[in-house]
Structure 1
Amino acid sequence: MQITPLKLLGKPTAAVQLAPCSPAQHGFHAESTNNTTLRLFFAGFGQDPQLFSQCLTAYRAVPSELAPLDAKGSSASDAEPQSHIAVYMLSHYGDWVLHSDQGVAQLQAELSASKAISPQCDPAWRELQELVRSCARVEIVAWSFGVRAALAYMGVLSPEILAGKTIKAIAVCGTVEAVDDAYGIPAATYSHMCRALLHPRLGPKTMHGFAQQVTTKADLLSCFQNYYRNADLQQLGTELLVLPHLQLPDGDTWRFTHMYLSKYDAIFALNNAQASWLRYGLSVEQCTLLEDEHLPMQTLQHLLCAQRWHV
C-alpha cells in the first residue's frame, strides 16, 4: 500500500492544509496532536495519486461546490477556526506482494484455498498506525474497493491508539463485502476480470473497459484511459487479487456513519449496495443517493476539500 499526501486541485485550499512531509516522516509533532485532523482517502482499485490529481484538475469544480453548509446553515468559513487538516491518499494495495518473497503465484494458490490476507502482511500498515497515533481526529473517506481496505487496515491498528480519538467515516460507492453476489460485485464478474487482467493480450482491453465503467464523463475518462495505457498490468492484477480478500476485524473499533451511493453505478449495482449497508446497520437516513456514476467526482471533492462535513 502507498500512503501519499494528496494534492487537491493543484494547491492547498483555504480549508485544507496538506501534510508537510512524507508518510515515513509522519509530518505530525506531539505539540500539534490536539489541533490536527487526519483525513484518509482510501481509494479504490487501480487508482494512483497522480491520476486522481489529474481527475481533480480535469473536473474543474466550481469553488462554491467545495464549501458545504453546516447543520445550522452557515458557511464553514464563517464558523470558528477549525483544526489543520492533513489529507492522505491510500492506494496500490497489492504492491507489497510484488516486493515480497511470496510472489503472485503463491498468493493465487493461497487465495484459491480461501485464505484471507491480513493487512499486517503489508509493511505500510505501520506507517498508517504512526499517522493515526499522531493526531487527535481521524476522518475516513472510502471509495469503491477502498471501503473494504479501510475496514481491514484500520482494523489492525492498536486499540490503544484509536482509544479517545474522534473518528468519522463515510463510504462512497462501495460495500464491506466488495465481492459478493448479493452484497457487492458478482463473483463471476470479479473472477473474469482477474483472469483477463493477468492475460498479456486481454489486460489492456480489460482496463479500457474498466475505465468506461468508472466514468463516462469525457474529461475524466480521458485521464483514466491515458493512465491505464501505460500502467503495470501485473501490479493492477495483484491489487485486484488482494483487495476483496483483505481480512476484516472481528469487532468494531469504529463504524461508517454515512454512505453515498450512485444511481448509475456500473460496478457496484445499487440494489446490492443498498442491501449491504442495510445489513451493516445503516438506515435510510444515513444514505445519500446520487444521480451519478461510480466515480462521483463532485462528492469526492466535497468530502476531501471541505473544512467541515455536514453529514
Structure 2
Amino acid sequence: MKGLNSKWPLDFSKITGCPMSILPLYQEAIEDITKRMGAGMAKFICKEVETIDDYDEYCHYVAGLVGLGLSKLFHASKLEDLASDELSNSMGLFLQKTNIIRDYLEDINEIPKSRMFWPREIWSKYVNKLEDLKEEENSIKAVQCLNDMVTNALIHMEDCLTYMSALQSPAIFRFCAIPQIMAIGTLALCYNNIEVFRGVVKMRRGLTAKVIDRTKAMSDVYGAFFDFSCMLKSKVDKNDPNATKALSRLEAVQKICRESGALTKRKSYVIRSEPRYNSALIVAFFIILSIIFAYLSANRINGWVQNCMVSTEDLPLFPSVYICYSMGDA
C-alpha cells in the first residue's frame, strides 16, 4: 500500500512492529488506554459538550486517560509507585483544559466546522452562541466567561502538585513537571486577557526556555506555581463573577507552596512590577516645580532689565520680549 506520494510507501509492518517490540506489561497498558480513549472520543463525535460534567468527561477521554496510562507505564518500569487514578486524571485534565482555553479562536474558526469544547453550562451565562465571544461588542462578557473557564481549570492544581511531589525518577519528574508549569503559566497569561479572542496567547520563548532549564526538582515546581499563581492573582478583578472562587483556589495553592519551604533562595519566573507612584503626587510635584521655575525666571528677567536701566513698566508684558529687549541693548 502506498500513500498519496508514491515515493513514500507505507510499511505497516514497521508500525505494528513497534508496540510489539516492547515488554508485555507496557503493551497491556497502552492497549487498555487506547481502547478506552477511542471509545470515549467516538462518543463525542455526535455529542456536544453541554455540561461541566460533559467537559470533564471529554477531557478525561482525550487527556485524563493519557495520565492514567503514563502512571501505569511508570509503575511497570519499576521507577515509580502507582499513582491513584484521580491524581493521574487531574494531571491530564489540567493540561487539556489549558489547551482548550488558549485555543478558543483557532477552534471556533475551524473550517469547515467549528470545534466547540467550551461547555454550554459556562458560556451560556454570558452569550447566546459560543462564537459570539469573539465579537468586539461582547468583550466584557467574553472576558468574564474566559475567567470562568480558567477558574474551572484551577481546581486541578492541588492534585497536580500532589502527583509530582511523589515522583522519584528525575527523568520522569521533568517529563511531567515541565508541561504542568507551562500550563499554569499559560493560564496566568490568558486570565482576564481579551487577546484570547483576538489572536494567539502563549508564553514567550525566553520564559519557556527558563522553565525547561530550571525545572529539576520539586522545589522548582513549587516556586513556579507560586510565581504564576501570584501573577494570576494580581489580575483578578474583585467585580468578576468568579473572583471569590478563583482567589480561593489560588490562595490554597500558594499556601501549599509556602508550606513546602522551597520558596527561599530561588530565581523568580515572573518579572516583578516596578513600584507604582501616586499620579496625583507626580502632578503636584510638577506644578510646584513649574511655579518655582516661573518665579526664578521672572526675577532673572527683572535683573536683566534693571541692569540695562530699562523700566519694566515701559516693556510689553511677555517675558520673551523682556529677554529680547534686554539682550538687544546689551
TM bracket, shorter-chain basis: under 0.3
What's the TM-score once normalised by structure 1's chain length? 0.26
Structure with more relative contact order (C-alpha pairs < 8 Å, separation 6 or more): 1
Give the alignment's TM-score, normalised by structure 2.
0.25
Which structure shows the bigger proportion of residues in helix conformation?
A: 2
Name whichever structure is richer in strand by fraction: 1
